[in-house]
A and B are shown apart, each in its own frame.
Chain A
């Protein structure tokens, strides 16, 4: 398993119209080509990229700043994108690694509780707006 290469693939896709065109034409072949060039991706990671499984990718540790563009590429609307990540945590468990695992990411409720314990007076979180 390599979070680095999962994110590297998305980084390349986000930057390159050529990679985007190839991915639209044949997602599996595009990811497999990336693997054949040396990227260390597990079957789980390949499947999540090809599907695409936004919730699984977030669970694996993908940075949202990379993942949100992958969602937009797939025409996934913003609120749907956020919900897919929440569903991914519910289904697969806390984020495994990466920046969100720094202090353990176990979902929005747990995070809100943690934030409340850290003098977060006045925090804003409007369900309809997020």
Chain B
């Protein structure tokens, strides 16, 4: 069944954990956009949602760091962070070992990927789920791209991986949605936390909406680090969703800097029917 939904959203832990410290007008606008994304996702009646994340040393460390990993379990626990710190209670999200197995087998035809029968969700997945599937009633297929521990997954390979994911999603009979999560420019958890390069973000999102492969791959890790911080490495998740959208045109529904959340909080989707 062709992919039914493709979008991206922010996942910063401050979105839930430091909610009371944000400008309430901007914060509530962002939450409303998240709520609309949940509605739009539910309208497509997905059987499972693939969450393409950039996890932060919760499951993967430099002793064995995969460029790509896909979960293959019937459930996933989270958050791995202190629930009070993240302001998200402990949860068990449903997975689907069956769907995962078939997606992974298809992806492996054209891309190397690790599979994981165990995965503890950190804020990179927990925050999006908190807004998009608050009742934890939609099976989740977690995907990780190494955006944290250099050498990082090359951008071109993130793109190719997105194409492989799309082929896999289209090959199964279930209705599959895909959501990428990450920051754009940000310097998370460093002394520069709160610094946001808004101009860089808007330029990147323009490229993402046009879904121009060459423009989206026209970055180096060095230029991203200089202009967008180490958090900018997470654009890999956005690139993967762009590739999975196969040329579809995107719309940014919300993008505003919220410094206490450390990012330009973003909600955007592709028009797969267009």
Contacts of A14 in B (CB 8 A): 57-58, 80
Question: Does A7 have its Cβ within 8 Å of any Cβ on chain B?
Answer: yes
Nearest CB in chain B: distance from A130 CB, A = 3
Question: Does B95 have its Cβ within 8 Å of any Cβ on chain A?
Answer: no
Nearest CB in chain A: distance from B33 CB, A = 19
Contacting A at CB under 8 A, from B166-193, are 187-193
Contacts of A96 in B (CB 8 A): none
Contacts of A124 in B (CB 8 A): 194-196, 198, 257, 259
Contacts of B56 in A (CB 8 A): 65-66
Q: Which residue of A lies closest to B152 (CB)?
A: A99
Contact of A65 (CB < 8 Å), options: B120, B148, B260: B148
- Secondary structure at the A interface, as helix, strand, loop or mixed, is helix
Asked if A108 and B227 sit within 8 Å, CB to CB, the answer is: no
- Secondary structure at the B interface, as helix, strand, loop or mixed, is loop
Asked if A122 and B197 sit within 8 Å, CB to CB, the answer is: yes
Question: Does A36 have its Cβ within 8 Å of any Cβ on chain B?
Answer: no
- Assuming A15-B80, A72-B81, is B189 touching A86 (CB within 8 A)? no
Q: How large is the interface on A (under 10, 10 to 19, 20 to 34, 35 or more residues)?
A: 35 or more
Contacts of B227 in A (CB 8 A): 115, 118-120
Asked if A7 and B199 sit within 8 Å, CB to CB, the answer is: no
Nearest CB in chain B: distance from A86 CB, A = 5
Contacts of B225 in A (CB 8 A): 102-103
Q: Which residue of A lies closest to B22 (CB)?
A: A129
Question: Does A18 have its Cβ within 8 Å of any Cβ on chain B?
Answer: no
Nearest CB in chain B: distance from A74 CB, A = 11
Question: Does B136 have its Cβ within 8 Å of any Cβ on chain A?
Answer: no
Contact of B191 (CB < 8 Å), options: A11, A89, A118: A89
Asked if B197 and A126 sit within 8 Å, CB to CB, the answer is: no
Question: Does A57 have its Cβ within 8 Å of any Cβ on chain B?
Answer: no
Q: B-facing mask of A87-130, CB < 8 A → 1, else 0? A: 00100000000011011000110011011001111111110011
Asked if A73 and B190 sit within 8 Å, CB to CB, the answer is: no
Q: Which residue of B lies closest to A64 (CB)?
A: B189
Contacts of B149 in A (CB 8 A): 63, 99
Question: Does B10 have its Cβ within 8 Å of any Cβ on chain A?
Answer: no
Asked if A99 and B81 sit within 8 Å, CB to CB, the answer is: no
Taken together as a complex, chains A and B put the C-alpha atoms of A68 and B85 apart, in Å, by: 11
Taken together as a complex, chains A and B put the C-alpha atoms of A115 and B226 apart, in Å, by: 6
Nearest CB in chain B: distance from A55 CB, A = 10
Contacts of A4 in B (CB 8 A): 62
Contact of A99 (CB < 8 Å), options: B63, B199, B230, B257: B230
Taken together as a complex, chains A and B put the C-alpha atoms of A63 and B187 apart, in Å, by: 11
Taken together as a complex, chains A and B put the C-alpha atoms of A115 and B260 apart, in Å, by: 19
Q: Which residues of A approach B to under 8 Å, CB–CB?
A: 4, 7-8, 11, 14-15, 58, 63-69, 72-73, 78, 82, 85-86, 89, 99-100, 102-103, 107-108, 111-112, 114-115, 118-126, 129-130
**Closest 4 CB pairs between A and B?**
A130-B194, A64-B189, A65-B56, A129-B259
Given A8-B61, A112-B192, 10 extra CB contacts under 8 A: A63-B149, A66-B56, A85-B191, A102-B150, A111-B187, A122-B197, A123-B198, A125-B195, A125-B259, A130-B192
Q: Which residues of B approach A to under 8 Å, CB–CB?
A: 18, 21, 56-58, 61-63, 80-82, 85, 120, 148-150, 187-200, 221-223, 225-227, 230, 257, 259-260
